[in-house]
Amino acid sequence: MKKIPSFTVNHLTLHRGVYVSRQDAVGGEIVTTFDVRMKAPNREPALHVNAIHTMEHLAATFLRNHPTWAERVIYWGPMGCLTGNYLILRGDLTSEQVLPLLVETYEFIANFEGEVPGATPRDCGNYQLMDLNMARWEARKYLDEVLTKMTPERLVYPD
């Protein structure tokens, strides 16, 4: 079987960053998938499942209610390897263009207080798999160490 493109990225040299993972034509429109890489693959511990699940609820809610971007948001969700998230947006977009949106998103998560949206038995299939404190800590770490100190090599996949 042919390898899918995401399995051709060299994870041994991939850093934390924001990358265009792929662009697809869907119904005459371009859809851009972003690799929002929070952990260096195979070189640092993955995100705890409770933290990334909480981040998913918070980020998805924030993005789908964003005053400018909401209409472009298709999906936000965790990678199976738990080293980051995928953001899928309508439009032919670059990592640089979505960086301010991601800063806003991670600030929202890092500063969030209260009940996690959708964290009830009625609204979520595993509502107890949540850790708001850890989600806030991971969001702040990514925000302070990566998003606000972004460098060009963390915006384009390495060769």
Residue 69 has pLDDT above 80, yes or no: yes
Q: Structural domain boundaries of the chain?
A: 11-149
Q: Which fold has domain 11-149?
A: Gyrase A; domain 2 (3.30.1360)
**8 pLDDT tier (thresholds 50, 70, 90):** confident
pLDDT digits (tens, 9 = 90+) for 9-47: 888 999 999 999 999 999 999 999 999 999 999 999 999
pTM: 0.95
User: 78: exposed, middle or buried (C-beta count within 10 Å: 0-12, 13-18, 19+)?
Assistant: buried
